[in-house]
Structure 1
Amino acid sequence: MNIKIAYSNTWKKVLIILFVFTKTVDVFAQKTNSTLEKSIESKIDSIIPLLTLKEKVDMCHAQSKFSTKGVGRLGIPELWMSDGPHGVRAEISWDSWDYAGWTNDSITAFPALTCLAATFNPKLSGDYGYNLGEEARYREKDILLGPGVNIYRTPLNGRNFEYMGEDPFLASKMVVPYIKGVQKNNVAACAKHFALNNQEHWRNTVNVEVGDRALYEIYLPAFKAAVQEAGVWAVMGAYNKFRGQYATHNELLTKKILKGDWDYDGVVISDWSSTHDTMEAAMNGLDLEMGTGTDGLGTNSLNHYDNYYLASPFLKALKSGEIDETVLNDKVRRILRLMFRTTLKSNRGFGKINNKEHHAVARKVAQEGIVLLKNENSFFPIEDKEGITIAVIGENATRSMTAGGGSSELKPQFEISPLEGLKARYENVNIVHSMGYATGPSVYDAVIPSKLNADSLRIEAVKIAKNADIVLFFGGLNKSHLQDCEGADRTQFNLPFGQDELLNDILEVNKNVGYILMSGNAVEMPWLRNIDGLIQTWYLGSMAGYGIADIISGDVNPSGKLPFTFPAKLEDNAAHSFGVSSYPGIDQEQNYKEGILVGYRWHDTKKITPLYAFGYGLSYTSFNINNVKTDKKTYLPNDKIKVTCQVTNSGNLDGAEVVQVYVGKPKSKVKRALKELKGFEKINLKKGTSKTVEVSIDASDLAFYDESISDWNLEKGDYVVYVGNASNNIIKTIKINIK
């Protein structure tokens, strides 16, 4: 009888708590955020004592591939997650990586994040995040496992296409609106992979050694912005080790920096199988352990969810007193806080999927992210001129680029191929297609030759090209294993499947060739001088073909800028210049010997000419940047440096330009890059018009991380402001002084 009464009283308390929460939500909406947060914390305080020790532990680890347990008796819901930096992944089976076979889980595939970064348009990033969040909400997901903000360190990294380029400032400015947009839907964004997961090769075991300056100046800023500026609700740990300790439960990264210095109040989630130790996971800040085992059905007890590191072993350590219950309570508090932000949020909304607004945003991102790299003899745009023949060569003109890639692969409702997009746009042109080359039989068998005869494909492609007026070669990479794909890095810098040889054969019979490069990485281009046109299109998702046709036809003027450097040869890349000890490492030990000199910082400082520079991108019109000046010459540490210039569209078409502001510190007491991006502004201009652009920079953002004091240090003295439209195309330099 006493037990029943105790349980009844407990249940009444929970009902009262939930009743009060739901009935007063309208009042909360009128309160300040601070008051609302205090109210939620108070409710969490009242819930935690009602939970048993095992119920709390059960909330800290997976119950299936993509969900964690709730507490049914108290009405605490499960948490459901989905992969998706650029789209919500199809439903996965409970205990395996097999797809569940649903027929209603098709979505809009948005362009990959390299394309988003190439837009240099933070507002568009916010639209991207909001529309993606709507799709996640419709699919009843509580956590969307993205965005990725690891830094582009080597062009061989198989997962670079999921990230936002090589520059920490650009990544920071683009990730904040993305996260805010997703979370407006009461769906948690999950910034990943924290931290230093900059290669896929040996990702589960490699130990990364990097100095504090590079850590704080290059590899952490985008994560810090995600936490402190965007207020991200979830962060995912990385697979690799850092200074000998796994990143997912790394004392310095997760406990001291993320939850300590940055005062992060959200949940830390492991990457799938990135947890390795109960004590470290418990004490160093991991809250949710995912993916350690794959079999929850009991057929293999070792892989059962109850045997995760934060499951039975964690419970045992708590019961023995080896770990204090306050450690567990902090994790449960964070998980409940996440629930109140997502699945327990009243008036949460229902989301939307595959609507015209989402398709329009996907197309807009494609249009603004595509980069025109070469356009000799005005090869682009191509007119819809009756009587001409365009030969479209290449498997990439028809291949699905949403399939494959690892955990970011998608199941879109539709995917417009480049060939389909061109045929829809060009009514008068005769368009013919030949594969020219072919990959392996599936995304997992890239090293296995295609069953199609390579010689026959090549002969047919050359024949079609010879009889065409214009050749558009759709090449590059795809999302197969050993290309742009999770789980392994590329093994070559040049193009696969004999594309270089095929292109040379085509150039023998037709000189009027434009190359459409589809990739998330830089590639070697020995044939570049022999072609007139080159467009970098990335992976564009559902609206790929329409977006590409918009640029090729000139319906949209290209405005994308490269978010990473294309080196002329692999050895010109900083990570590769130091040999195997720097990439991929020796005996799974790796040293980032280039330090802070990543990407354009390396090329600038070492005076190495890139093939294409960071920030570079052409237009079909012309822009002039004039009257560049700063508001004054001398600044105090708390001042804002205001850089203004006049941008004129002096060409014949409307278009958009990106004003880029870099700053350098000559005669610094420490080793510095020649210059670093500190501000940018994308501006749309009608032909023949001008506009004044202002870029504001906090003087304090010119500080470097001083390893001698383990803190940021703003040097006094002279600085140089560089203004241009690419890292290697500086229009004006101005000397300023910081007092």
Structure 2
Amino acid sequence: MKYKDLIEKMTLEEKASFMSGKDFWQTQDMERLGINSMFLADGPHGIRKQAEAADHLGLNESIPATCFPTASTVANSWDVELGEKVGRYLGEEAVAQKVNVLLGPGINMKRNPLCGRNFEYFSEDPYHAGKLAAGYIRGIQSRGISACVKHFAVNNQEERRMSIDTIVDERTLREIYLTGFEIAVKEGKTKTVMSSYNKLDGVYTNENQHLLREILRDEWGYNGVVVTDWGGNNDRVAALLAGNELEMPTTAGETNQDIIKAIKDGKVKEEVLDENLDRLLDLIFTTEEVFQGSYKKEFDIKAHHQFAQQVAEESIVLLKNEDNILPLKKDAKIATIGDFAKDPRYQGAGSSIVNPTELDNTLELLEASGIHHIGYEQGFERYGKKSQTKIDSACALAKEADVVLLYMGLDEVTEAEGLDRSNMKVPENQVELLDALHKVNPNIIVVLSCGSAVKMPWIDKVKGLVHGYLSGQAGAKAVLRVLTGEVNPSGKLAETYPLHYKDTPSYRYFPGKEVSVEYRESMFIGYRYYDTAKVDVLYPFGYGLSYTTFDYSDIQVNKDGVTFNITNTGDVSGMEIAQLYVGSQSEQIFRPAKELKGFAKISLNPGETKSVTIAFDDKTFRYFNVKTNQWEVEEADYQIFIGASSADIRLTDTVSIEGTNAPIPYSKEQLPSYYSGKIKNVGKQEFEALLGREVPVATWDRSKPLGYNDTIAQCQYAEGLFARFAFQAIKFSHWFLKKIGKRDTANLIMMSVYHMPFRGMARMTGGIMNMPMLDGVLMIVNGHFLKGLKHVVKERNKMLKSRKAIN
């Protein structure tokens, strides 16, 4: 151990105290041994260090920081070097605010377009997400602090996220849901990993030996720290044994006592605690070095804002450009319509919300952009309320214009941590506005602002579509520069846009509503499904237009990689994202038709040709064999695809690859859906054949009393009248708040109360309530009101007396 001498100077109680936080954001310190506390802060796309009362929901304002585009936006740049630069800027600001660990990036897969936190995640493809994340991590950690890749793992829904059990087969787990984390650990060398809230095959991830010990540490060689998501601890001793060093936030010492008791009772060896502490101390000391002596306590606000604009410019996706309506003609009369033009939608909601240092506004920038602007109308109410007056005013303005810029999108309370979206629609009042505008002026360009895929049944009524995603504090100017042609758009989608939600592969399996969520679609998520099952989509993975055109030629393939040429055949300079996909021509093992295995972003002047080489790596041909329990290569001919998107393949070739001669892991007869790729209606028997075990019961056992890991929502079935009344009160409050337009507060009830497990009352309240008090609450819930109330009061008095004695 690195800090053996230091650890030997500590008592058992002191060692255990380091295993949970000092408060909401800081770790424990120990002045007598020269150990400082470490500060952890939210920050996938900006630093959220709160100056006042701490919370994990984004309620209280944080110290101003640059709000960069979200991960879902930067993913569209397909630029690993740009991601690394974003990381460096984030790291610089973290150091300025004296943050040791920046809680990001998030790299969970976009299994379903309705996941409420998709705006924080990169991609539906693990290779793409892993490469971008590794770039971020290298950048952040170049400043001497730690990144924290999250949420490990298979956290792909927000509803019931703190208790849902994810049922997934081992091969899909490895190939789809862990590959991004593997790249982040091995190539990004992240110093910290955050475990997710959910269970994986019946075991909470932060105490899952298979996930944290066998895969993360033994297989990947990870020797950093694992921290729980906030309030995500279930069994502290089981988590310690799995190698989960740090529990956050504080539990006022309650779980430390669990560790001490387990060691004194001989259930855990003290050496296990020492190993965990050694890794945690290493993180504390190595991230503290940058703060020794003088360090840069300020950053260049203007320079960081300018860089945020550059990132947004490279991440904007041009999805439609009928009649070359873009870039805008200099003499065209432009009307701007839409609430998002005046009040930009530029980031998500929840723990990632950033208090920006500046905020660009479209209306304030129009004059300087050179656009011949004739006026602005709001057009629609932001949160969905219908207004014919606003539509009429917008149409009157549109009649006077040559071109209408319509700023549409999803509002802040539709995409939020802790909640999944109810549908893929853009709000109806915006669509009604578009319909009305189209009748008076067909020259409509939509500027779309949202962090995840939406349906577009209205797409035929617009000639131009510029998708800014959630483009950060400088996004408004970035969009205008694309509209005017100062910037040639180069972004490409990192997720598929289906025609209908029912077309999505996980349509029947999302979300898990009660005990578990079953990943019956296996590895067939996103383009892997659409391309294999030959399902038409609106916009494919990797799609994006440019103001110029590119020609691909001269493909050459050898055992090391693929080389080809790209030529800019248009009139303006531009950047093209070339994508390498690989598909096995063997039918012995089921696979998607093709999978992304590399990409390159190339800048070209008009008429210029460049040779591009994309190397094969250890992930190009591998698959996870559930019989040998390791990565194998199937001997086969593999088709090599070079495309401008997953659906726009420009060059193809074939290469023969020697295999590892592993046994075939599956029976075609048992898995017909998976061998065909048509996985929309997989039966229980076939899914169990894939899993290699029985599928657990997915519904609550309502005959049992409610316990620690049951949720407040389950009070509707409780024995106790008081609990059922409380449930109805919560439900009514949610309905009423939505009715009167307080949707953000209504969301907060769902996020922090409705789906919260009972143990969250102890884990998330910083010691206000402990587990013995919670036992009393559960007595009340289960029909023993007076006995439970008496127990709560008794245990609270005992807790206060104990603390008074210590102090």
Please report the TM-score for the alignment, with normalisation by the length of structure 1.
0.86
Aligned-residue CA RMSD (Å): 1.9
1:348 and 1:313 map into 2 onto residues whose CA distance is: 40
Distance 1:383 1:406, change over 3 A: same
Contact 2:70 2:347 in 1 (8 A): no
Note the C-alpha offset of 1:686.
0.7
Name the amino acid aligned to 2:642: V
Which residue number in structure 1 is paired with residue 552 of structure 2? 625
Note the C-alpha offset of 1:700.
5.8
Matched, 1:660 2:605: no
1:435 and 1:99 map into 2 onto residues whose CA distance is: 27
Contact 1:402 1:410 in 2 (8 A): no
Q: Secondary structure at the match of 1:534?
A: strand
Matched, 1:477 2:407: no
Distance 1:251 1:52, change over 3 A: same
Which residue number in structure 2 is paired with residue 590 of structure 1? 517
1:348 and 1:720 map into 2 onto residues whose CA distance is: 56
**Equivalent residues in 2 for 1:274-313, closer than 5 Å:** 274-291=232-249, 304-307=251-254, 309=255, 311-313=256-258
Q: Secondary structure at the match of 1:611?
A: strand
Matched, 1:358 2:304: yes
In structure 1, which of residues 213, 222, 233 is the aligned counterpart of residue 191 of structure 2?
233
1:101 and 1:733 map into 2 onto residues whose CA distance is: 53
Name the amino acid aligned to 2:252: Y
In structure 2, which of residues 314, 336, 339 is the aligned counterpart of residue 395 of structure 1?
339
Name the amino acid aligned to 1:704: Y
Matched, 1:559 2:490: yes
Note the C-alpha offset of 1:102.
7.9
Matched, 1:457 2:390: yes
1:312 and 1:490 map into 2 onto residues whose CA distance is: 40
Name the amino acid aligned to 1:369: S
Matched, 1:342 2:287: yes
Q: Secondary structure at the match of 1:343?
A: helix
Contact 2:318 2:489 in 1 (8 A): yes
Name the amino acid aligned to 2:345: M
In structure 2, which of residues 148, 152, 157 is the aligned counterpart of residue 194 of structure 1?
152
Distance 1:359 1:212, change over 3 A: same
Name the amino acid aligned to 1:665: S
Distance 1:493 1:90, change over 3 A: same
Which residue number in structure 1 is paired with residue 715 of structure 2? none
Note the C-alpha offset of 1:350.
2.4
Note the C-alpha offset of 1:557.
0.4
Matched, 1:406 2:350: yes
Which residue number in structure 2 is paired with residue 322 of structure 1? 267
Distance 1:96 1:690, change over 3 A: closer
Which residue number in structure 2 is paired with residue 12 of structure 1? none
Q: Secondary structure at the match of 2:640?
A: strand
The one-character-per-residue Cα deviations of 1:294-352 (angstroms, maximum 9, x if unpaired) are xxxxxxxxxx5222x3x222223223333221121112111111022201455784264
In structure 1, which of residues 171, 175, 185 is the aligned counterpart of residue 143 of structure 2?
185
**Equivalent residues in 2 for 1:111-510, closer than 5 Å:** 111-291=69-249, 304-307=251-254, 309=255, 311-345=256-290, 349-350=295-296, 352-385=298-331, 388-402=332-346, 405-426=349-370, 429-440=372-383, 454-480=387-413, 483-510=414-441
Note the C-alpha offset of 1:527.
1.0
1:459 and 1:717 map into 2 onto residues whose CA distance is: 63
Q: Secondary structure at the match of 1:328?
A: helix
1:340 and 1:415 map into 2 onto residues whose CA distance is: 36
Distance 1:115 1:325, change over 3 A: same
Contact 2:212 2:243 in 1 (8 A): yes
Note the C-alpha offset of 1:458.
2.1
**Equivalent residues in 2 for 1:73-92, closer than 5 Å:** 73-91=32-50
Which residue number in structure 2 is paired with residue 537 of structure 1? 468
Q: Report which stretch shifted further, 517-526 or 255-264.
A: 255-264
Contact 2:600 2:614 in 1 (8 A): yes
Matched, 1:604 2:531: yes
The one-character-per-residue Cα deviations of 1:649-669 (angstroms, maximum 9, x if unpaired) are 110100010111110001231
Contact 1:434 1:464 in 2 (8 A): yes
Name the amino acid aligned to 2:404: V
Which residue number in structure 2 is paired with residue 61 of structure 1? 20
Q: Secondary structure at the match of 2:244?
A: coil
Which residue number in structure 2 is paired with residue 300 of structure 1? none
Matched, 1:733 2:690: no
Contact 2:556 2:562 in 1 (8 A): yes
Contact 2:53 2:60 in 1 (8 A): no
The one-character-per-residue Cα deviations of 1:5-60 (angstroms, maximum 9, x if unpaired) are xxxxxxxxxxxxxxxxxxxxxxxxxxxxxxxxxxxx64x12211112222222211
Q: Report which stretch shifted further, 649-658 or 338-347.
A: 338-347
Contact 2:69 2:346 in 1 (8 A): no
What is the aligned length? 657
Q: Secondary structure at the match of 2:586?
A: coil
Distance 1:92 1:287, change over 3 A: farther
Contact 1:134 1:351 in 2 (8 A): no
Distance 1:216 1:102, change over 3 A: closer
1:332 and 1:542 map into 2 onto residues whose CA distance is: 40
1:96 and 1:118 map into 2 onto residues whose CA distance is: 31
Note the C-alpha offset of 1:431.
4.2
1:348 and 1:734 map into 2 onto residues whose CA distance is: 57
The one-character-per-residue Cα deviations of 1:461-513 (angstroms, maximum 9, x if unpaired) are 22222222211111111321xx2210101011111252112111111111000
Distance 1:700 1:112, change over 3 A: closer
1:491 and 1:318 map into 2 onto residues whose CA distance is: 47
Name the amino acid aligned to 1:438: E
1:348 and 1:122 map into 2 onto residues whose CA distance is: 31
2:68 and 2:54 map into 1 onto residues whose CA distance is: 28
1:538 and 1:95 map into 2 onto residues whose CA distance is: 29
Note the C-alpha offset of 1:734.
0.6
Contact 2:61 2:355 in 1 (8 A): no
Note the C-alpha offset of 1:629.
1.9
In structure 2, which of residues 445, 448, 457 is the aligned counterpart of residue 517 of structure 1?
448
Note the C-alpha offset of 1:423.
3.6
Note the C-alpha offset of 1:115.
1.4
Distance 1:589 1:99, change over 3 A: closer
Contact 1:185 1:349 in 2 (8 A): no
Contact 2:164 2:516 in 1 (8 A): yes
2:310 and 2:80 map into 1 onto residues whose CA distance is: 13
2:352 and 2:346 map into 1 onto residues whose CA distance is: 8
Which residue number in structure 1 is paired with residue 778 of structure 2? none
Note the C-alpha offset of 1:624.
0.6
Q: Where does the alignment leave 5 or more consecutive residues of structure 2 unmatched? A: 659-807
Q: Report which stretch shifted further, 402-411 or 709-718.
A: 402-411
Contact 1:493 1:523 in 2 (8 A): yes
Distance 1:404 1:225, change over 3 A: closer
Identity in percent = 36
Q: Secondary structure at the match of 1:50?
A: coil
Contact 2:344 2:476 in 1 (8 A): no
The one-character-per-residue Cα deviations of 1:539-568 (angstroms, maximum 9, x if unpaired) are 111211111111111101000010010011
Note the C-alpha offset of 1:282.
1.8
Q: Secondary structure at the match of 1:737?
A: strand
The one-character-per-residue Cα deviations of 1:165-212 (angstroms, maximum 9, x if unpaired) are 111111111111210110011110000000011111121121111111
Which residue number in structure 1 is paired with residue 714 of structure 2? none
Q: Secondary structure at the match of 1:614?
A: coil
Contact 2:547 2:572 in 1 (8 A): yes
